[in-house]
Amino acid sequence: MARLYPRSPQDPPGKLVIEEYHPNCVEVFYIPPPHKLELSGRDPDDAEQYKTKILCICGQNDRISIFPINTWADHADFLKPKYDKIRSITLDGFDYDYGTLETVEEVIEILEYLPSGFVKDYDYGLGLQKDYRFIVDAVEEMDDIQHIVISKKAKTEILADAGICTINFKEYDEIRKKINTITNRAQSAARKIKSLATHNVLASFLNTLQYPQKTHLAKNDTLGNLISSDTSEQLSKSEQERVIKLFSKNMEAIAEDQPEELIKLRTNIEVGTLKRLIEKFKEMLGKKRSEAHWQKLFNDNPFILNLAFGYPIITIQDQAHVGGRKFSGAGEKITDFLVKHGISNNAALFEIKTPTTKLLNKRPYRENLYAPSSDLAGAINQMLDQIHKFQKEIATLKENARIHNLESYAVHGVLIIGKTPQDVDQQKSFELFRGNSKDIAIITFDELLEKLKLLHGFLSSNEQEGI
């Protein structure tokens, strides 16, 4: 039987291995081809050790479980799960002709009859096609769900204890068709905008009277006008680089001749950048992200630390070793950020946890009063210990790092952790606790988001008033 996506001899497909684990039930494993193993830095002469389960097919129960993996050899997650949390997608009650389940050809035939929206070539990593990744994203936002079941028999429901989200096939197909409709409309609008942009670029080089530029799309083309309002004057990457270089070279002259316009431009840039940061911050809050992800966000946008601290600071180093001989070398204690006051040079330490870190114990200590969680208490003790070590070693650290304008008059600590409790009694308990935290300032992630929103609102109002 021919493969769905035939390959050239220079790009052969991987192999499938079928192992029976129950009568009329098999597990199917994928073995990457030699060229993929070589590209990923693995030994092509021992390909068998890299076999990875991608399917469970059970004719008795009329179920097919797909285990989506990454099959791109140059990707860091090669042969690892394709999705962040979802580990399997099961098709239930589709009444396939399973045959004997003994040959690779039978497995490939079953893949050909997978529902619309599924990847059907095992070499591309089974699972949902890219356009329908939004279904997986929506399910992954639910806590502790690792398995999706698309069923022709069962209703749509969440079985949280089992980590399963069941989607009735009719409802899955309705979602898929709606995604298709949105995609088709967006592509149609994009074609119109590309045509408009092409006409205007050509017209700019020709006689403008004979070939006038088009200024807009039809008024009733809502989607097209929405896109074109943002993209009709987009520049290519090379054009963007030229504009930035030209602006940089002429910035002093612009500041001299048109200072108000320069201030407006800077405000526009700040507002746009801040808006994207707020969107990313909100997106990360809605998902389970590791401390490393948040560390990177703060590292890429250090001004957020200024918002958390309340006065101007300068970042010395992220992941600083404060209990050893060098900030950048091995040491006993590592703080997420070492910063200093922008004027007095007084040092401060930042520790970043995650929004999902619990702030309080689930049960009240006494009626309507909640004690801090072990995570919160432990994080505070961790910071106090970091500060203690830092103050003991600061002279050595400064000398070895050749950083002399750093002081430890009263080292501050800032702990970014968790989200503000919703319950009134818990809010009271949390505020009582952190209000009496003398040396460590405790700030929640949702409070930081609100500070970003307030800053965006302030800059936006200045932009509208022409400040």
pLDDT single digits (tens) 329-353: 444 456 677 877 778 888 888 888 9
Answer yes or no: is 198 within a domain: yes
Instruction: Name the range with the highest mean pLDDT among 173-177, 315-319, 342-346.
Output: 173-177
Residue 388 lies in a domain: yes
Cα separation, 441 vs 16, in Å, equals 56
Confidence of residue 378 (pLDDT cuts 50, 70, 90): very high
Residue 64 and residue 119 in one domain? yes
Q: What is the pLDDT of residue 316?
A: 63
Residues 422 and 325 in one domain: yes
* Predicted pLDDT of residue 275: 82
Let me know: does 167 contact 154? Beta carbons within 8 Å: no
Based on the fold, state whether residues 434 and 369 are members of the same structural domain.
yes
User: Do 130 and 82 share a structural domain?
Assistant: yes
Q: Are 139 and 188 within one domain? A: no
* 302 and 411 share one domain: yes
359 assigned to some structural domain: yes
Q: Are 1 and 109 in contact (CB under 8 A)?
A: yes
pTM (global) more than 0.85: no
Contacts of 326 (CB under 8 A, 6+ apart): 397, 400, 401
Mean pLDDT, range 99-123, rounded to an integer: 92
Which CATH number does the domain housing residue 418 bear?
Answer: 3.40.1350
pLDDT value for 167: 96
For residues 199 and 105, the model is more confident at 105
Q: Are residues 124 and 197 in the same domain?
A: no
Confidence bin at 410 (pLDDT 50/70/90): confident
3-state SS, residue 43: coil
Q: Which residue has the higher pLDDT, 199 or 268?
A: 199
Do 199 and 78 share a structural domain? no
Domain tally for the chain?
3
> Which is higher by pLDDT, 415 or 212?
415
293 located within any domain: yes
Nearest to 88 by CA among 138, 150, 141: 150
Give domain status of residue 260, yes or no.
no
Q: Please indicate, yes or no, whether residues 224 and 294 belong to a single structural domain of this protein.
A: no
Structure tokens at 70: 């990454």
Tell me, yes or no, whether 276 lies in a domain.
no
Is 186 in the same domain as 78? no
Structural domain contains residue 452? no
Instruction: Determine the pLDDT at residue 223.
Output: 46
Both structure tokens of 432: 């009582």
Q: In terms of pLDDT, which residue wins out, 352 or 314?
A: 352
Residue 86 has pLDDT above 90, yes or no: yes
Q: Is the confidence at residue 137, as pLDDT, over 70?
A: yes
Tell me if 239 is assigned to some domain.
no
Q: How far apart are CA 226 and CA 212, in angstroms?
A: 23
Choose between 259 and 2: higher pLDDT: 259
Residue ranges making up the domain that contains 19 = 15-153
Alpha-carbon distances of 258 from 66, 243, 263, rounded to whole Å = 61, 17, 9
Residue 2, pLDDT score = 42
Q: How confident is the model at residue 325 (pLDDT cuts 50, 70, 90)?
A: very low
Overall size of the chain counted in residues: 467
Do 369 and 296 fall into the same domain?
yes
Token output for 297: 């966000």
pLDDT (tens digit, 9 = 90+) per residue, 180-192?
988 888 787 777 7
Tens-digit pLDDT profile for residues 424-461: 999 999 999 999 888 899 999 999 899 888 877 776 66
Q: Which residues of 128-151 are buried (b: 16+ CB within 10 A; e: fewer)?
A: beeebeebbeebbeeeebbbbbbb
Residue 402 and residue 323 share a domain: yes
Question: Residue 372's beta-bridge partner residues?
Answer: 360
